[in-house]
């Protein structure tokens, strides 16, 4: 099986990779929340590109499930029952 260098992907191709082909299904489901948190698909693409470029990751935080220290995270936007952050 051929390995994809996702660091070379941009925009819609990068989003497609993370939401369909990325091996970590849990993280794929978090990436799928990005357009809902930004309310803008193009902005979601830009944020995802930056996350990959900077070696960061998205984190979905649900306060009613567990307490998570978000003080060192960057808030992206609201998602159902929680918030999406960059860590």
pLDDT tens string, the chain, 87 residues long: the values are 567 899 999 999 999 999 999 999 999 999 999 999 999 999 999 999 999 999 999 999 999 888 899 999 999 999 999 999 999
Residue-level pLDDT at 65: 87
Residue-level pLDDT at 18: 97
pTM: 0.91
Q: Do the domain assignments include residue 35?
A: yes
Q: Do the domain assignments include residue 32?
A: yes
Q: Do the domain assignments include residue 26?
A: yes
Q: Do the domain assignments include residue 48?
A: yes
Q: Do the domain assignments include residue 70?
A: yes
Residue-level pLDDT at 1: 54
Q: Do the domain assignments include residue 20?
A: yes
- How many domains does the chain fold into? 1
Q: Mind spelling out the 3-state secondary structure of 30-79?
A: HHCCHHHHHCCHHHHHHHHHHHHHHCCCEEEECCCCCCCCCCCCEEEEEE
Name the residue range of residue 67's domain: 6-86
Q: Do the domain assignments include residue 1?
A: no
Residue-level pLDDT at 3: 79
Q: Do the domain assignments include residue 52?
A: yes
């Amino acid at each position: 099986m051929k390995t994809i260098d996702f660091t070379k992907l941009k925009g819609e191709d990068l989003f497609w990779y993370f939401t369909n082909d990325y091996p970590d299904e849990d993280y794929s489901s978090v990436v799928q929340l990005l357009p809902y948190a930004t309310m803008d698909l193009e902005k979601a693409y830009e944020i995802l590109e930056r996350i990959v470029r900077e070696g960061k990751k998205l984190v979905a935080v649900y306060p009613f499930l567990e307490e998570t220290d978000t003080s060192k995270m960057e808030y992206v936007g609201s998602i159902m029952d929680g918030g999406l952050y960059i860590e």
